């Protein structure tokens, strides 16, 4: 089964080619996350980066597939209410989603969709609101995550970059851990340090940093994890 189409510019390599080197890298990332949080439950994981286009959405989507392949019941939530793209990757509609439930317009059953990948569900962003930070900081968001925790083994949450908005900082306080993606070689050290300090400031638990080499054509892993 494949969710890849010629029209879909996003790569779900873990589904398309589970035995490839890149897929193995996502599985390694999955294993490392498990070992990085051995003493505490890490159920809600947020992904962010300092700047746009570093590979957050690609990483979280492939990581989600890697967990689902391990027979974990996985939910991916698109909380990037500025530039949502997870629905494109999983080729689902974004007519209703997270913003609708936060605005009390739809029920949970109406916004969770099964993807074509067994064990993997999606809550897309829903319509882009004028006040994303406010919606994400709401009590309703905290309650929603509490409820979803009962139903899923793992919840992976996509978010905007930290550079211009505080959305990911807000969300990090609701999650058990944060994965920080860096487009290797492209982002200034000071920018990364500042972003990590901001997350630390709100007491986020940074599980690790994912070095994403988008341009790697080699057989080497394009992902490293610290
Ligand atoms: N490891 C990779 N190898 C090849 N291409 C990649 C890799 N990671 C990301 N890309 C490509 O780079 C582009 C940006 O990636 P992606 O959308 O995942 O970044 P993002 O951090 O979520 O961006 P945004 O800040 O806009 O949400 C996409 O076209 C994606 O397919
Ligand atoms: Mg993205």
Distance from the alpha carbon of residue 87 to the mean position of ligand 2, in angstroms: 11
Distance from the alpha carbon of residue 192 to the mean position of ligand 2, in angstroms: 17
Q: What is the mean pLDDT of residues 50-58?
A: 96
Name the residue among 196, 167, 188, 140 with its Cα closest to residue 80.
167
- Report the share of the chain in percent with pLDDT over 70: 91
* pTM of the complete model: 0.93
Q: What is the mean pLDDT of residues 38-59?
A: 94
State yes or no: pLDDT of 57 exceeds 60: yes
Confirm or reject: Cβ of 161 under 6 Å from ligand 1. Answer: yes
**pLDDT one-digit tens code per residue, 150-182:** 999 999 999 999 988 999 999 999 999 999 999
State yes or no: pLDDT of 75 exceeds 70: yes
**pLDDT one-digit tens code per residue, 3-37:** 444 445 567 988 889 999 889 999 999 999 988 87
Question: Which of 38-47, 73-82, 134-143, 211-220 is the least confident region?
Answer: 211-220
Q: For a substitution probing ligand 1, which of 57, 76, 125, 167 has the most ligand atoms within 8 Å of its CB?
A: 57
Confirm or reject: Cβ of 222 under 6 Å from ligand 1. Answer: yes
Residue 4: what pLDDT? 46
Residue 9: what pLDDT? 57
Q: What is the mean pLDDT of residues 123-138?
A: 97
Measure the CA–CA gap between 160 and 111, rounded to whole angstroms.
21
Q: What is the mean pLDDT of residues 199-226?
A: 76
Q: How confident is the model at residue 213 (pLDDT cuts 50, 70, 90)?
A: confident
What DSSP designation does 53 have? T
Specify the long-range contacts of residues 34-37, CB closer than 8 Å, at least 24 apart.
36/177, 36/207, 36/208, 37/176, 37/177, 37/207
Ligand 1: atom nearest CA of 58 is: 18
The residue whose CA has the least distance to atom 16 of ligand 1 is 55
Confirm or reject: Cβ of 214 under 6 Å from ligand 1. Answer: yes
Q: Which residue has the tokens 């589904």?
A: 15
């Amino acid at each position: 089964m494949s969710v890849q189409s010629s029209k879909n510019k996003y790569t779900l390599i873990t589904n398309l080619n589970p035995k490839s080197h890149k897929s193995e890298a996502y599985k390694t990332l999955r294993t490392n996350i498990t070992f990085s949080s051995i003493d505490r439950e890490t159920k809600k994981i947020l992904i962010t980066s300092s700047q746009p286009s570093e590979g957050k959405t690609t990483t979280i989507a492939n990581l989600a597939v890697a967990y689902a392949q391990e027979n974990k019941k996985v939910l991916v939530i698109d909380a990037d209410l500025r530039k949502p793209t997870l629905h494109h990757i999983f080729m689902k509609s974004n007519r209703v989603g997270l913003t609708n439930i936060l605005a009390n317009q739809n029920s949970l059953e109406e916004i969770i969709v099964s993807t074509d990948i067994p064990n993997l569900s999606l809550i897309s962003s829903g319509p882009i609101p004028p006040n994303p930070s406010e919606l994400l900081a709401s009590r309703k968001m905290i309650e929603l995550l509490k409820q979803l925790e009962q139903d899923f083994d793992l919840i992976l949450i996509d978010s905007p970059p930290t550079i211009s908005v505080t959305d990911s900082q807000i969300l990090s306080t609701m999650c058990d851990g944060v994965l920080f993606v860096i487009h290797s070689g492209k982002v200034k050290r000071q920018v990364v340090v500042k972003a990590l300090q901001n997350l630390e400031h709100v007491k986020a638990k940074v599980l690790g940093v994912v070095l994403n080499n988008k341009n790697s054509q080699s057989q080497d892993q394009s992902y490293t994890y610290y």
